[in-house]
Amino acid sequence: MINNIGLFWVKDDFRLKNNLALIKASNKHDQVVAFYLYKKKKFENQEAQKWWVSKSLQNFKSSLNNYNIDLEIIKTETYSSFFEKLFTKKNFSIYWNKTYEPSYLKFDKYLSKNFKLHNIEYKILKGNILNEIEDIKKGDGYPFKVFTPYWRNAEKFYLEKIPAKEKKVKKSKKKISYFKDTINENEIYPKKKWFKKFEEYWKPSEENALKELKSFIKNKIENYSDARNFPNVIGTSKLSPYIKHGQIHVETIWQECMKVKKKGVNKFLTEIGWREFNHTLINNFPHMLKGNYSKKFDRFPWEKNTKYLSAWKKGLTGYPIVDAGMRELYSTGWMHNRVRMIVGSFLVKHLLINWTEGEKHFKNCLLDYNEANNVSGWQWVAGCGADAAPYFRIFNPILQGEKFDKEGNYVKKWVPELKNIPKKFLHKPWELKNDKVLKLGSDYPEPIVVHEKARLKALNAFKKI
């Protein structure tokens, strides 16, 4: 044991299991203090995540108490200003897990250089990922740009690794505090009270993440390949916010899935593969974080239409499946993956609004917002990303609704003004023409664009590039 204090920097690591930095710190030091840096600017356009982070801090603090480890929250303008003060102290060693975003990995280099300079022991450990980004390359040393060959190689690489025997978090001899001027997790809560609805749907804790995984594997994974496409049934794991905030490690998910021999396991793990692929993309091609991965899209004739954008955000486009998705997002901080593709395609291809506007809105509203997944997902839909959907794939919101929400249960749940519409007209209410059942324009909006015309316009715009 080392006599000085072990500091554990919590980022998206709200877990005890498979938390390498916390385990390392607690096994090397008699006394450990965990700290979380709350940078207000980071959350300026991530309102939904403030709620999740605040709840996560509260629950993780309680878990760490059982190990005599204090979790202290420090408000800081910048990470640099906090660490510059820390460099002047000598009574600690520090540990943290990697976050696989270019800005964080760049900051890791800055910290490494300065901790060495000040002769302070530090350790950066593997974060919430199966393979390190630099481990998976093509035979010529270049990064993969297509998912299927990437995942074939990544999966093989991971399976051939000898799994390390997992250590556990060790209890500190006594609980101590370390930092001055700490804040309470309640100070992170969003100012607007709309997040109150989230509490009906989510419990942001490691305990709940493990429970959800167990329930999913037991009851749903077998039908996952088909059920995942239907938003009216709970066919997905809904683990994405827990993965994003590190309440569960992807290795834990992998290990638990490998214990069962059920039909949907491979398909489900492929989704973990997409997350890995997206992280390699943003690190190997960081320009895609600020614009199009494919440079030819820089010439695309996007349209600025605040009226259409506002209607899309509020779920008032007149297309029921699109509106249901946008309202689900606002109410729950989450949206079904099939519907994410439908609403994304509608914004980009029906309204010709730049995908960056959709990415910004999702960033603000999604509890599972992840830079790699969000940017890559939007560019996949727009057709300007790596291994993206072809430009001529334009989701028909009427047919998508009729195919994946046949009985209309999803639409009726989130767009209750349509609950009395006959099934035949549910996904195209403008064809009903019965004011006694629905007054189009007052009870529910008329379509802001006509699908056939919008599709033709989009195809012509895409042809220009």
Spatial neighbors of 328 by CB under 8 A, at least 6 apart, are: 231, 334, 335, 336, 339, 414
Are the beta carbons of 154 and 136 closer than 8 angstroms? yes
Task: Compute the Cα dihedral for 98, 208, 46, 69 and give only its sign.
Answer: negative
Taking CA atoms, 329 is separated from 219, 341, 368, 405, in Å, by 25, 13, 11, 17
DSSP string, 377-390: HHHHHHT-STTPPP
Element (H, E) at 196: none
Annotated catalytic residues are: 271, 274, 302, 337, 355, 378
> At which residue do the structure tokens 């093989």 appear?
156
Q: Count the alpha carbons within 13 Å of 46 in the hemisphere toward its beta carbon.
A: 20
Where on the phi/psi map is residue 61: left (φ > 0), alpha (ψ -120 to 50), or beta? alpha
Are the beta carbons of 8 and 178 closer than 8 angstroms? no
d(CA 30, CA 28): 7
